[in-house]
Amino acid sequence: MSETEKLEKEFQEKIDSGISIEPKDWMPEMYRKQLTRMMSQHAHSEIVGMLPEGNWITRAPSLRRKVALIAKVQDEAGHGLYIYSSTETLGTSRYELIDLLLKGKAKYSNIFNYPTLNWADIGAIGWLVDGAAIVNQTMLAKTSYGPYARAMIRICKEENFHHKQGYEIMADMMNGTKEQKAMAQDAVNRFWWPSLMMFGPSDKDSPHSAQLLKWKVKKHGNDFLRQRFIDRTVPQAEAIGIKIPDEKLKYNEETRSYEWGDIDWEEFYNVIKGNGQCNKERLQARIDAEENGKWVQDAATAYSEKKKLKKEAA
């Protein structure tokens, strides 16, 4: 057995016995590559996800809603920073990762390429998008890479607040006027299926799942998590009178879970290839932010270098 094969065998034994992999541990290059890909795209999703919601801060219908939305959008920025920091422990700086995103060479979640047309969309995003993220991230809180798992623990606590404030918006609107009810139902009609797509392609079509499951980066496949999200969310919809836009949705007493219709995978791949309704707008907003914020980065770098020189000279 070669030295590398020996190291790979020891690595897999650590994974199989549930020992967390830390930055300084030996790891297969492919493990490092996979984690860098997945974690950086997660971080990109958090930052890009601020755009559709930030759009409605100035138009929130009350001070209470405005304060909650500001807190949520601010949280997403923090989530992005935690995950960029944990990605950097794998050896790639956030500047390189963001450069890949701005050059269209890295992805972010499909869901943020849909427009937020009215206030009900903010409720639907909190309830459905953060609800889907909670299902995914509670699983990732037990991922084999230590820094990622630890970042998830803090993030999940904040996601719960995001989910609750979104569901409260939807419940209020479903308790409101005919127009408000129609707005809330329309928002769910537009966000339901893209929220299911957040979990990625079906496992049989996923090029990464098998390897990520072997290394316990993912503890469950995409289909399992999607089903868990549906089983949790449909009763919440029924409780407030929202109709899920899926004619095939049916509760199966035997399996004690929902059967449901078919995802439009053509739409999914189209959106993640860059042809969604808002891809260009979202990327341009990130490019503009990088350019307009360059002076802040330069000032902060100059300040920290000056501080470092002063410390060395002392």
Of 61-69, 165-173, 204-212, 251-259, the window that binds ligand 3HC (rule: CB under 6 A) is: 204-212
Q: Which stretch binds ligand 3HC (CB under 6 A): 127-135, 171-179, 236-244, 282-290?
A: 127-135
CA dihedral 189, 193, 196, 197 (to 10 degrees): -140
Q: Which is nearer to ligand 3HC, 109 or 227 (CB)?
A: 109
DSSP 159-195: HHHHHHHHHHHHHHHHTS-HHHHHHHHHHHHHHHHHH
Q: Does 45 bind ligand 3HC (CB under 6 A)?
A: yes
Binding status of residue 206 toward ligand 3HC by CB under 6 A: yes
**DSSP 8-state secondary structure symbol assigned to residue 245:** S
Site for ligand 3HC contains 221 (CB under 6 A): no
CA pair distance 295, 45, nearest whole angstrom: 24
The reply to whether 130 sits near ligand 3HC by the rule CB under 6 A is yes
Q: How far apart are CA 22 and CA 291, in angstroms?
A: 34
Using rule CB under 6 A, residue 50 touches ligand 3HC: no
- Summary count for the chain: helices (H), strands (E): 14, 2
Secondary structure (3-state) at 251:
strand
Contact between 201 and ligand 3HC per CB under 6 A: yes
- Provide, rounded to whole angstroms, the least separation between the CB of residue 85 and ligand 3HC: 16
**Amino acid, res. 175:** N
Q: What are phi and psi of 127, to 5 degrees?
A: -70, -50
CB atoms within 10 A of CB 266: 8
Q: Please state, in angstroms and rounded to a whole number, the distance separating the CA atoms of residues 275 and 109.
A: 13
Q: How far is the CB of 91 from ligand 3HC (least distance, A)?
A: 18
Judged by CB, which is closer to ligand 3HC: 183, or 217? 217
Closest CB to ligand 3HC among 130 and 173?
130
Nearer to ligand 3HC, 63 or 279 (CB): 279
Q: Which of 114, 199, 229, 258 binds ligand 3HC (CB under 6 A)?
A: 199
User: Which residues contact ligand 3HC (rule: CB under 6 A)?
Assistant: 37-38, 41-42, 45-46, 49, 76, 79, 107, 109-110, 129-130, 133, 136, 197-201, 206-209, 212, 222, 272
